[in-house]
Amino acid sequence: MVSLKQLVKNPLKAFGTKAEKSFQPEVFDSHVMTTYGRFPLALTRGAGCRVWDDQANEYLDFVAGIATCTLGHAHPVMVEAVTQQIQKLHHVSNLYYIPEQGALAQWLTEHSCTDRVFFCNSGAEANEAAIKLARKYAHTQLDIAEPVIITANASFHGRTLATITATGQPKYQKNFSPLVPGFHYVQFNDIEALESAIASLNAEGPRVAAILLEALQGEGGVNPGNVQYFQRVRELCDQHKILLIIDEVQVGMGRTGKLWGYEHLGIEPDVITVAKGLGGGVPIGAMLCKASCDVLQPGDHASTYGGNPFVCGVALAVCQTVESEQLMANANARGQQLRQGLLKLVDTYPNLFEQVRGWGLINGFVLKPDAPLKSLDILKAATNQGLLLVPAGPNVVRFVPPLIVSSAEVNEALEKLSKALATIS
């Protein structure tokens, strides 16, 4: 039997001679659907903020599973939580009470402005749940026959049919029509556009059921929300009895230096969606809502795997570690350090970069529109220097390392990036 210690140390060797053979991308591609544009790397092991490929090359990981590996790789707390929970009980149906689910829900509501939680498996599913909640709320509480949800251009809310419709980026919707009706898009951080949309949609009676926004747009280019904008959004929602849904899938769980992105904006949403960092890499999502809009009843919504003992036990350990190890303070400090380093590179390469934006440990290095390079060019050069980064569109390089990243590792990342830029500038 393969021990956990063996697996963490060497995942290929642990499974015997067959797994020790060199990884063959062509075999992989012949069996796995090509729904991803993959980099030519086969990652096989991780520890902290570092990962290794099948050729034993080491990389500093500033992708973290795209803002997912909150505690990095093979963190002792997660190893212990996984081991204990899998030995006790890993899955039962939601037809029964699940103590681990209740404990996680209690932690989340006690650390947010919400009262109730629905658990699922991903951010897209969390947003699906929020969309269903908003529609039922509109039908049962506002007597709206055909409710509309307003979202923002350049947003990203998931890959299901409803959530790509909610996503205000046509490139994700191409060839998947007919899309789900009931969505309207406005410019992010533009309050006049939002007020105009509400007035137009409600001209002949209430139609707007909810406004769904990210506190900071991640996939849309790392665009932080404007405080005055969101405070006015909250006022409009109160005035028109509209639900305010904040998508915290990428920025929640401490990544911004606060537990929730909405805390930067001086507001309280009615509904929060979260996933990614919640489980530190185990698949879990959640929709949190205030009791005043909790209209879902037995039979309205469900998820076979959602909130099972395994994922909830691990996610609770992640949440408690974020709090006990003061990782939000670390996200603030390391994020400030990273932004200062990136701003120096803006000065060094004024023909390439125009700004740095972000909160905590989600930061965007923004290329000029007419720059001779694109984000993928920089990612490839950085990978060659042993630094993994992720794009946020063609003109933004995104930095989302684990929240445990150290000062020395931030400096190392900046040094590797500087070398990468020197090779291609």
Kindly report, residue by residue over 189-220, the tens digit of the pLDDT: 999 999 999 999 999 999 999 999 999 999 99
User: Which CATH number fits the domain that encloses residue 419?
Assistant: 3.90.1150.10
Given 61, 183, 247, 270, which residue is catalytic?
A: 247
Same domain? For 146 and 292 the reply is: yes
User: In the prediction, which pLDDT does 55 show?
Assistant: 93
Same domain? For 64 and 136 the reply is: no
Range of the domain at 171: 78-324
User: Which CATH number fits the domain that encloses residue 249?
Assistant: 3.40.640.10
Q: Has 156 been annotated as catalytic? A: yes
Listed residues 324, 350, 366: the one ending a domain: 324
The verdict on residue 278 lying in a domain is yes
* Span 353-379, pLDDT tens digits: 999 999 999 999 999 999 999 999 999
Same domain? For 53 and 87 the reply is: no
The verdict on residue 3 lying in a domain is no
Same domain? For 355 and 267 the reply is: no
Q: Has 276 been annotated as catalytic? A: yes
The verdict on residue 2 lying in a domain is no
* Span 84-107, pLDDT tens digits: 999 999 999 999 999 999 999 999
Predicted confidence band of residue 425 (pLDDT cuts 50, 70, 90): confident
Tokens linked to 176? 């998947």
The residue written with tokens 């990095």 in the block is: 72
Same domain? For 145 and 269 the reply is: yes
Same domain? For 245 and 363 the reply is: no
Residue 54 has pLDDT above 70, yes or no: yes
Listed residues 299, 324, 349: the one ending a domain: 324
Predicted confidence band of residue 21 (pLDDT cuts 50, 70, 90): low
In the chain, what percentage of residues exceed pLDDT 70? Answer: 95
Yes or no: say if 216 and 256 are a contact pair by the CB < 8 Å rule. Answer: yes
User: In the prediction, which pLDDT does 11 show?
Assistant: 43
Tokens linked to 225? 């929300």
Burial group, residue 263, by CB count within 10 angstroms (0-12, 13-18, 19+)? middle
Residue 12 has pLDDT above 90, yes or no: no
Report how far apart, in Å, the C-alpha atoms of 41 and of each of 60, 182, 282 are. 13, 41, 22
Same domain? For 319 and 335 the reply is: no
Residue 18 has pLDDT above 50, yes or no: no
What is the mean predicted confidence (pLDDT) over 399-424? Answer: 98
Given 276, 290, 310, 399, which residue is catalytic?
A: 276
The verdict on residue 319 lying in a domain is yes
The verdict on residue 136 lying in a domain is yes
* Span 68-84, pLDDT tens digits: 999 999 999 999 999 99
Given 118, 156, 188, 230, which residue is catalytic?
A: 156
Same domain? For 301 and 167 the reply is: yes
The verdict on residue 9 lying in a domain is no
Q: How far apart are CA 221 and CA 107, in angstroms?
A: 31
Tokens linked to 394? 């063609």
What is the mean predicted confidence (pLDDT) over 41-48? Answer: 96
Same domain? For 249 and 389 the reply is: no
User: In the prediction, which pLDDT does 22 show?
Assistant: 77
Same domain? For 169 and 235 the reply is: yes
Yes or no: say if 209 and 148 are a contact pair by the CB < 8 Å rule. Answer: yes
Q: What's the number of domains the chain is made of?
A: 2
Residue 6 has pLDDT above 70, yes or no: no
The verdict on residue 15 lying in a domain is no
The verdict on residue 32 lying in a domain is no
Same domain? For 222 and 298 the reply is: yes
Listed residues 302, 324, 346: the one ending a domain: 324
Instruction: State the average pLDDT for the chain.
Output: 94
Same domain? For 354 and 236 the reply is: no
Q: Has 230 been annotated as catalytic? A: no
